[in-house]
Structure 1
């Protein structure tokens, strides 16, 4: 089920979904130090978040609210999930699983590591719940998530995620027939995977568990959601396509559920489907934001916009891509000012400039400023924009400015190393290697330039993209091909472009570059194929991209 923006807003006004939770709305005074989220649930539309039947809810009286809370949790509607669990706590403070629910709502295993305040909150929640009467299964749930919060001051985030996954594995082996246990185990398993493991063994195992469950429960939001996350890799994406096309219909009132299919669509270069699902996500997010804080913009809307811009650029639709950026710059208030917003705010202007090879624009990029967004907290995100600035300055021959940008990238890498964020530090290291390569090219050191660029491409091939991003600002494979083409090595450039397209299907610049490389190497058959592919990719778009005109001119002359 899909809604237009106007329909969503009307539904949000007329059918605003609120749950009255408590016979006694006075919070337990012992819980005030936890800063629990309270208030009526703000759910736009008709409240469809899929079907869940969680066996460990505490009483019949709270079961409906508990199942809704689990459904919200499974679609990463974390704010409303916590509020729903807190309603149960306020109504039944002896419900141990409600405290577990809050602890799960603040644990974002697939996102950024939690802050110290969140970890402290989790420890307190588990401590309270452990003192309450509970079933054996409830104790297992609590012991499992408790292993993530335990000793957080001295044990790193990845080790604690592994401990949580191990506990969930033990619980799953004892309760393999319980759907929710299996689903939460699969999520814990997926969250414990490391980006450098290109065997994807944990992702494959989680996906297999979930696919078997999906046959039995095709309307379960968590199963569909976590299948997509398990297969959100180029090598696995086709395994998640049918599920991606189902998830948005399972939880039509979740902005995140509307967005998630685009992870698979992006991997497979299905740009129209990505655009459609992200438009729906943004609309749903607007509805939610207006119910929470009229005039403000929620991070899920911003996140969807980042994927929209990427997809628009791949179809050559500069007009709609730049409209998203102008819209973003009009925002006065955003919430919460987190890593997702920082990523998109840096990535959108960077992409617009470098994808269009507007190097002058790239050289003069500035970070957008939003109230509450403190850029010093986000070195990786800042690096995206400064990487684009470095490329821009190199291409406009401002080598001194490019060197300054390179120095900034090195400072961001050091900062990330000091923060023990190896993945993001490595992402910046790839950018550094790329800029060093292009600087060497400008100096005439061609062999050194190619060697450095090959190293950058190899480094990138050994890592996976972060879930927050639809893709690199510019792929290293593509930049290697661009360099080879600039050095009049069209056959080698064609090979590199084709590697890039195999890893990132239907990229506009990848297809165009392959066409030019094929043409320059005398392979007119391949040149024709790629120019035809470019026109097919952009056939439904009115675009001013010169590459499209070039493709039309080439094919017209070939016919003549």
Structure 2
């Protein structure tokens, strides 16, 4: 029996992938890992919130480990990896530092491109397994290994779900470990079904985080992930107080400065969104100047898209155009990823479509920033969609049909790439363009039915975190099409429902006001025109709709 008692734990360790022959890390092991090196770049006062993560590594590295975890919780991934690399340099046998490297390469809420991050993460965890002795740390390392195992054959979503289940086990086994609860909550959010309008996973994740928040009010991950969980029209109010606090918790993080604007956008708090993203882009510029003075960091572009969206909802076209002109000066961006591609396509498209400059929309071209658009068919489709809608409204159905074929080709490519969410987004654009082509060909009944289907599809699909909102919501476009069809009462219903999903949108309020006026509901028309005026800075009137609203209110 003594022999069995000795052998059994060894078998368990080997089965879990942990070596019992703990090895010393060699220089060639670290060379293969190709860690990000150098000083950690911190803008502002270097404050990223308060984290206390217990580890068994040398006492001297524990403070640095807490900083690395703070960076990780605010999605400052590159700087987090640098911090973990410094820990490895000081204590090469610190197993959790290698776990940290793997976590820094797992961007749980984003679908990454390429395989380099998977190779690095898998190797880092292999080294972690060869070093770990602490049972709790083994559990963390095993859980993350579930994401990196079989990455050559298993999809991102399948592996992320395995990680979620494994993190739940860590959360259950170590109930006093609040970091386990926080990382489990993030895993729940990462695997939430985008088509589940009950938000079951998000609510569960949010409840876990809210139970911890009172005792750790300055923890960056808790606030950050609460915002991500409630970044939906039906839930946004639950995160408003947290959103207003997060930027104060981690003032040195560009992402922390930006994230509150997700909730501000959901609630139509445009001035707060603008201030949030002005702070975020400023912090991102500071970071870029330290990393690559000739380049622009993706976090700056991400904030710019939200800025443009908010400016347009306030009727401040000039300020939106200033952001576009600034974007046109960019030559180098880093890293080349989906956020950059989205912003580059979305900003010019938003401005043309939101201001109803159909000639500009039909002639849009890709900005001069060099990107491999074959990697980003969803983002590229935004421009095709804008050109198609501009062409239709200019009466050039032939050009619209050409853009439609480009949309269909990109949809097929996304289906082949198994990017389900993205392919659905392009499918909504296809349905919308087909509806408007049908409308301008005189098939009004068919057009309305097709546009209703597009809007319904969009309402059943959650917004991606990369965007403040669709370049034109399908529900709002349904209202526009019904107005073109001389059906103002039905248009009013469409606009009003879309405003519940996209509160205080400039064009949605204008459409509702006009539809109410033409339906004979003058009191409601007055209400919507007043809401438009309340959104805008009357000293900077730049939209003819504002002039119309003022004239209508003066008469009524």
TM-score range (shorter-chain normalised) is over 0.9
Match of 2:484 among 472, 483, 486: 486
Map 1:350-429 onto structure 2 (within 5 A).
350-371=349-370, 373-429=371-427
**Total equivalences in the alignment:** 532
For residue 114 of structure 1, report the CA deviation from its aligned partner.
4.9
1:472-493 CA-partner distances (Å, limit 9, x unpaired): 0100000000010111100000
| In structure 1, distance between residues paired with 2:411 and 2:193 | 19
Please list, as runs of the form range in 1=range in 2, the aligned pairs for 1:281-360 lying within 5 A after superposition. Answer: 281-360=280-359
The 5 A counterparts of 1:431-510 are: 431-510=429-508
Partner Cα distance (1:49, 1:451) in 2 = 50
Structure 2 residues without counterparts, runs of 5 or longer:
1-24
Matches within 5 A, 1:177-216: 177-216=176-215
Secondary structure, counterpart of 2:39 in structure 1: coil
Map of 2:12 onto structure 1: none
CA distance in 2, matches of 1:415, 1:80: 34
**Rounded Cα–Cα distance in structure 1 between residues aligned with 2:133 and 2:364:** 56
1:60 aligns with 2:49: no
Say if 1:512 and 1:134 are closer, same or farther in 2 by CA, change over 3 A: same
Change (3 A) 1:384 1:105: same
- What secondary structure sits across from 2:540 in the alignment? coil
Match of 1:16 in 2: none
* Whole-angstrom CA distance in 2 between matches of 1:299 and 1:185: 27
1:539 CA displacement: 3.5
Q: Does 2:252 match 1:274?
A: no
Cα displacement (A) at 1:543? 2.2
User: In the TM superposition, what are the counterparts of 1:205-244 in structure 2 within 5 Å?
Assistant: 205-244=204-243
Q: Secondary structure at the match of 1:131?
A: helix
Q: Distance in 2 between matches of 1:405 and 1:359?
A: 14
Q: State the SS of the aligned residue for 1:258.
A: helix
Distance 2:537 2:527 in 1: 15
> Contact conserved, 2:33 with 2:120, CA < 8 A, in 1?
yes
Give the superposition deviation at 1:298.
Answer: 0.6
Partner of 2:141: 142
CA shift for structure 1 position 113: 3.4
Deviations 1:322-342 (A, max 9, x none): 000000101122111111010
- 1:90-118 deviations in Å (ceiling 9; x for gaps): 11111110000000001001012353121
Report the Cα distance in structure 1 between the residues aligned to 2:344 and 2:383, rounded to whole angstroms: 9
Q: Does 1:38 align with 2:37?
A: yes
8 A Cα contact 1:113 1:157, kept in partner: no
Give how far 1:174 is off.
1.2
Pick the aligned partner of 1:524 from 522, 528, 533: 522
Task: Give the conservation status (yes or no) of the 8 Å contact 2:331–2:368.
Answer: no
In the alignment, is the contact (CA less than 8 A) between 1:315 and 1:541 conserved in 2?
A: no
Once the two structures are superposed, what CA deviation does each residue of 1:13-34 show, in whole Å capped at 9, x if it has no partner?
xxxxxxxxxxxxx992322122
Q: What is the Cα deviation at residue 510 of structure 1? A: 0.2
- In structure 1, what is the equivalent of residue 76 of structure 2? 77
Deviations 1:398-423 (A, max 9, x none): 11110000000000100000000000
The DSSP-based 3-state class of the residue aligned with 2:330 is coil
Structural RMSD (CA): 1.1
TM-score (norm: length of structure 2): 0.94
In structure 2, the partner of 1:133 is 132
CA 1:27–1:301 in structure 2 vs 1: closer, same or farther (change >3 Å)? Answer: farther
Match of 2:546 among 520, 544, 548: 548
- Tell me the CA shift for residue 41 of structure 1: 0.8
Aligned-partner Cα distance in 1 for 2:342–2:130: 41
Aligned to 1:10: none
Unpaired stretches in structure 1, ≥5 consecutive residues: 1-25
Aligned 8 A contact 1:316 1:541 in 2? no
What secondary structure, in the 3-state scheme, does the structure 1 residue paired with 2:434 have? Answer: helix
Q: Distance in 2 between matches of 1:330 and 1:403?
A: 32
- Distance in 1, matches of 2:222 and 2:175, equals 15
CA distance in 1, matches of 2:254, 2:56: 26
Query: Is the deviation greater in 540-549 or in 485-494?
Result: 540-549
Please state how far the C-alpha of 1:57 moved relative to its aligned partner.
5.3
Offset of 1:366 from its aligned partner? 0.6
CA contact (8 A) 1:27 1:90 kept: no
Deviations 1:451-474 (A, max 9, x none): 100000010010001100000010
Which portions of structure 1, spanning 4 or more consecutive aligned residues, are displaced by more than 6 angstroms? none
